[in-house]
Amino acid sequence: MADLKVDLTAPNGKKITLPTGLFINNEFVKGNGGTITSINPTDESEIATVQAASADDIDTAVKAARKALNEPSWRDLPPTDRGIIMYKFAELLEANKETLATLETWDNGKPYSVSLNEDLAEVVGTIRYYAGWADKLHGQTIPTTPGMKFAYTLKQPIGVCGQIIPWNYPLAMAAWKLGPALACGNTVVLKPAEQTPLSILFAAQFIAEAGFPPGVINIVNGYGKEAGHALASHLDIDKVAFTGSTTTGKQIMKTASINMKNITLETGGKSPLLVFDDADLDQATKWAHIGIMSNQGQICTATSRILVQDTILDKFLEQFKEVIKSTSKVGDPFAEDTFQGPQVTKQQYERVLSYIEAGKSEGATLATGGVPNKNVGDGKGFFIEPTVFTNVTEQMKVYQEEVFGPFCVVTTFKDEAEAIRMANNTTYGLGSAVFTTNLDRAHRVAERIEAGMVWINSSQDSDFRVPFGGVKQSGIGRELGEAGLAAYSQTKAVHVNLGLKL
């Protein structure tokens, strides 16, 4: 539809024609759930208004995905052909990476250099990685009773997958879910976060161009309470994959139970970063800064609890604050020297400020930051200075709860046993980091920490070839790597009678 487009000029001068409809059956169509207006978090101006899906629109998308699964069958397309289409999709995304990165930054607030050089590189790499897996998914032959029985297994798709992605890495999280789902022969109904709907809509233009049949990938912007709930509760959805808050993850888990949907959940975190007295402090402080302050602190695996051996606390704090001061340039996300842009929305901005007040009221010491950075955008925009609290106890709200902003707490431990106990004193278990030059200790502590991932002498340097996921209330299942394929395939056992007669 010609009216489902808008011409935009981004802050960096790039001209963009943006589709604004729902993408169903390889077409942009009008939604029945109202509209969503995207707000620029840098200056609080309106960027664009896009269509929102109703429950009826979700039903239409699910029917399209079901038909695409079976008529003609996407699942039965030769796997090599599926991979070729996925490779073409990755090529189109790469060819348009500047526009996609511009929309991501404009809509989300993250630095353009990060969107272009890190996020888009990961998006393209993830789709290519799983394209390569498409024709390598096969079962096993299983020896049983020679001459009497033959058994083998088949790897088959789960079916129609509902995917709900967050606002902190819109395109990257979409790629994490689309890649393995498509490689395994599933079809998809994907709901982006209502806070950041723009970049995935632009990317949707390349789905048909890449060669995906109608209905294989459907993009349905919408609000969580209507579109998200309709997707999680739909009786013809076989699987739900979600990345977001633990609270919402629990709600999706309950809703999906209506027909016992297969689920993958990647939820919240309060990840520890342990610094032992033999650590390289120069590296530890730089990685600690990356671990919590990158992406405006809006990272599920953010190492936001920094545990430092008591004998080196003063040295660590001195160097850590200097790294923040010299590195964390807060400002216009399109400026080349900006490290930290604004928080994604006013709601997230106010949430971070509320935790700063909580830290003060609980008696923690504000070591640096802690105030809105209103010098950036003439009083507008959702900017917050990088914030560090010390003298924090394990009972404090700021130690236990996920903030999701440029906010961390620093406390001390006496020895290895206490460090492990403190690291595990949380309901979460997503990421963690250990800094030490003692390799025996590094591996020993990594084994004992209750988390789905441990970085040794680094933080946040994930890789799409390596499994990603958590334990405890940080989620269920794994994404990325070969493990990510298991979330989108199921094993069928076939028993062949070779002559046993009754």
Domain chopping of the chain, boundaries = 5-268, 272-463
Q: Which fold has domain 5-268?
A: Aldehyde Dehydrogenase; Chain A, domain 1 (3.40.605)
Confirm if 203 and 100 have CB atoms less than 8 A apart. yes
CA distances from 49 to 184, 201, 222, 409 (A): 34, 12, 12, 38
Low-confidence ranges of the chain (pLDDT < 70): 1-2, 374-377
Cβ neighbourhood burial of 179 (10 Å; 0-12, 13-18, 19+): buried
- Write the DSSP assignment of 213-260 as a string of letters: PTTSEEE----IIIIIHHHHH-TT--EEEEES-HHHHHHHHHHHGGGT
Query: For residue 287, what pLDDT is reported?
Result: 98
Res 2: pLDDT: 54
From residue 45, give the alpha-carbon distance in Å to each of 68, 289, 308, 383. 39, 30, 42, 15
pLDDT digits (tens, 9 = 90+) for 386-407: 999 999 999 999 999 999 999 9
- Residue given tokens 């970063």 in the structure block: 273
- Is the Cα torsion angle 220, 222, 228, 234 positive or negative in sign? negative
Catalytic residue (one of 104, 184, 194, 300): 300
10 Å CB burial of residue 448 (0-12, 13-18, 19+) is middle
Q: ∠ CA 246-465-333 to the nearest 5 degrees?
A: 65
Report strand pairing: 475-476 vs 489-497. unpaired
Give the DSSP H or E segment for 124: helix 120-133
Write down the residue that tokens 């969580």 correspond to.
224
pLDDT value at position 375? 65
Q: How open is the CA angle 119-123-128, to the nearest 5 degrees? A: 145
Q: What is the DSSP letter of 25?
A: T
In CATH terms, the superfamily for domain 272-463 is: Aldehyde Dehydrogenase; Chain A, domain 2 (3.40.309.10)
Q: Tell me the sheet residues that pair with 264.
A: 241
Domains 5-268 and 272-463 share a fold: no
What's the distance, CA 308 to chain centroid? 28
Kindly report the length of the chain.
Answer: 502
Residue 457 is given by DSSP the state S
Query: Which of 385-415 are b and which e, b meaning 16 or more Cβ less than 10 Å from the residue's Cβ?
Result: bbbbbbbbeeebebbebbbbbbbbbbbbbee
Measured distance CA(236)–CA(288) in Å, rounded: 44
Instruction: Provide the H-helix boundaries in 239-368.
Output: 246-256, 281-293, 313-327, 346-362
Residue 87's Cβ-count burial label (10 Å; 0-12, 13-18, 19+) is middle
Q: Could you write out the DSSP letters of every residue in 171-196?
A: HHHHHHHHHHHHHTT-EEEEE--TTS
Task: Tell me if residue 424 falls in helix, strand or coil.
Answer: coil
Residues 6 or more apart in contact with residue 181 via CB below 8 angstroms: 161, 163, 188, 241, 488
> Looking at 266, 385, 402, 479, which residue is catalytic?
266
Q: State pLDDT tens for residues 24-42.
A: 999 999 999 999 999 999 9
Give the dihedral of Cα atoms 105, 110, 113, 118; nearest 10 deg: -100
Number of C-alpha atoms within 13 angstroms, CB side, residue 14?
18
Would you state the structure tokens that stand for residue 327, as one six-digit string? Answer: 């590195």
Q: State pLDDT tens for residues 132-180.
A: 999 999 999 999 988 889 999 999 999 999 999 999 999 999 999 999 9
- In the structure encoding, which two tokens stand for residue 239, read together? 């699987």
Tokens of 330: 């807060």
Q: Is the peptide bond before 72 cis (omega within 30 degrees of 0)?
A: yes
Look over the chain and give the mean of its residue pLDDT values, rounded to a whole number.
Answer: 96
Token readout for 446 is 């990594």
266 is catalytic: yes
Beta strand 475-476 with 455-456: parallel, antiparallel or unpaired? unpaired
Concerning whether 300 is annotated as a catalytic residue, the answer is: yes
Crossing angle between the packed helical segments 120-133 and 97-108, to the nearest 10 degrees: 120
